[in-house]
Amino acid sequence: MYLSLSPVRDRNANARELLADSTIADITIIRKSNLDSTVVGIAILRKSDIGNIIVDIAILRKSDIDNIIVDIAILRKSNIVNIIGDIAILRKSNIVNIIGDIAILRKSNIDSTIVDSTILRKSNIDSTIVNVAGFILLRGYLVGVSGSGLSRSLILGTSTLHWHT
């Protein structure tokens, strides 16, 4: 990887408690003020600690996000802090909700001009992401944020996708 930052590590039995702002269903939420001095204001998210986007800016490293929240992130260009290879730096305000392993982004943050290009973990894409604002493809599901809530349409392989509201 291109980063030289050190991830937050469990140094003792109390480490997770010291880092935790709150814990919901075994999901640790880290407070920005409790991070290592080497990563002040920035959290390197680890599989054991993720369940929500945590600080104002979080660095998601491919090696640290195996089958967890943000397998795929699609954001407007203005909401992307930086992209370094497979590393996406996201802003906390871009995340609306977390449902299981699926991260749902705000409808207004989807930009069709980059929908097909700004992603993480390309191996989780089952089909080309459609250029429809408000919809993102995550781990085989087309996820939509609408007034009626979350809608899903299972995508099988690379079959042509048709979405109807």
- Residue 106 is predicted with a pLDDT of 37
Using a pLDDT cut of 90, give the percent of the chain over it: 0
Compute the half-sphere exposure of residue 53: CA atoms within 13 Å on the CB side of its CA. 23
Neighbouring CB atoms inside 10 A of 116's CB total 12
Tell me: the pLDDT tens digits for 40-91? 333 344 433 333 333 333 444 433 333 333 333 333 333 333 333 333 334 4
- Residue 42 is predicted with a pLDDT of 35
Question: What are the domain boundaries of the chain?
Answer: 15-154
- Residue 126 is predicted with a pLDDT of 30
* pTM as predicted: 0.15
Please report which confidence band the pLDDT of residue 25 belongs to, taking 50, 70 and 90 as the band edges.
Answer: very low
Closest C-alpha to 43, from 80, 9, 69: 9
- Residue 18 is predicted with a pLDDT of 34
CA distance 132 to 77: 16
